[in-house]
Structure 1
């Protein structure tokens, strides 16, 4: 399959107001000369990002303000993204997490996590795949999973479960869409030094510079390399790749027991 060419074409990026999504939007514009449609909840950040991309890189950049835990917003994102615009790529990166005892996760918070990490991904994939295939341009989808989807992660049990779904769903979807020419890449990074780490409280355990922790720009470079090369699954970094290998070779109970010692909250 030919390389995914982003130059002069539109790519949708969700979760683009900070972290990995923001850096992927920047890299698409800076390194690939691609037009970017960014999606997130924070209008001020999206508008600032669009102005930056237009001014610095001479590309087109537009935004859609949406909360992807809301089904009506998911539908609106697709409608606005494809109105008078042909998308060539889509990066479904938006996600939320929870760190703590699984039994203490409130039902409403769990539903938000599930709707954002799983339901919106499935719905947008179903809407976007026919659009990307319709004009024969051999577009591409990227679904952002996590190393936490490869192994059980105690104290991030719900998040880990949603990312395991994305991993399996994305790899299966890749085979279903192969005849259409649309590629599906599942990107499964490990720890990234982003706001998500701070907001979840995980920064108490893991910090930028720790072994295996990536910066968001570094991770974005890995992600877009995999995306444009149409890889079905990409796990960046030698330590994360070692964990992926361990997930295939070791009993999952052993991995979960070891991971629990790393993620167990302090007193």
Structure 2
């Protein structure tokens, strides 16, 4: 396997690309790596505007797939459309939803949508694309966006932190299975990011950019892409987030859950 993942003049698929971290990752791939970008999200207008921006500013190719990754049929279609007439070399699975509030008040349909988006679609797409890379003997790469919440039980984000714990464990295990076949899997676990997702969840009223562990989407994207091209298997950006991840290994989980509850309580 090459030590570095080469994205220049190659196609990278990015889910959740219409805003926030996904949008900044797409921009960074085009601007800093000279890579072609295949944008996936639900909002066509946002995707098409971003695709035009990347083409005109950076001279790369950019295409869109409009899809809702909480729908299994859309997940299958993303893979089919992405691989028709394109040699996809890298995949960034960033799409995700959250919920901030009491677990007992989370609507069941909303939980199912979170599970389908954060877990099921990510497992399905990573399986399809990893198999695609192995069969074609291309030394491709996968980036799974998790969270520091994967390491700590997070009261008032109980379902969300559970989905991210699954993805972190799954991604690190998958990395070991496919590395001998030339495919890299990177799990990226940021802390809070000042994005539209934070606004929609209501957490922006509590946490602001510059607060403990919070990063801008642009700064976070730079960390993620650096880890991805270097084929790191786990990356936690920022000293504060790295300290939290270390604390999760050293301190009792019950204690961490209590302290987190005091900070996150609505």
The answer to whether the superposition gives a TM-score over 0.5 is yes
TM-superposed CA distance for 1:133, in Å, is: 2.2
CA distance in structure 2 between the aligned counterparts of 1:186 and 1:164, rounded to whole angstroms: 11
CA distance in structure 1 between the aligned counterparts of 2:91 and 2:125, rounded to whole angstroms: 9
**Structure 2 length as normaliser, TM-score?**
0.99
Within a 5 Å distance, the mapping from 1:1-267 to structure 2 comes to 1=1, 2-265=3-266
Count residues in correspondence: 265
CA distance in structure 1 between the aligned counterparts of 2:82 and 2:107, rounded to whole angstroms: 33
**RMSD in angstroms over aligned alpha carbons?**
0.6
TM-superposed CA distance for 1:211, in Å, is: 2.8
CA distance in structure 2 between the aligned counterparts of 1:33 and 1:131, rounded to whole angstroms: 23
Query: Which segments of 5 or more consecutive residues in structure 2 lack a partner in the other structure?
Result: none
CA distance in structure 1 between the aligned counterparts of 2:114 and 2:126, rounded to whole angstroms: 18
CA distance in structure 1 between the aligned counterparts of 2:208 and 2:133, rounded to whole angstroms: 38
CA distance in structure 1 between the aligned counterparts of 2:112 and 2:212, rounded to whole angstroms: 32
TM-superposed CA distance for 1:134, in Å, is: 2.6
CA distance in structure 2 between the aligned counterparts of 1:222 and 1:208, rounded to whole angstroms: 16
TM-superposed CA distance for 1:135, in Å, is: 2.6
Other structure's SS at 1:96 match: coil
TM-superposed CA distance for 1:178, in Å, is: 1.0
Runs of 4+ with >2 A deviation: 133-137
**Structure 1 length as normaliser, TM-score?**
0.98
Query: Which segments of 5 or more consecutive residues in structure 1 lack a partner in the other structure?
Result: none
CA distance in structure 2 between the aligned counterparts of 1:137 and 1:108, rounded to whole angstroms: 39
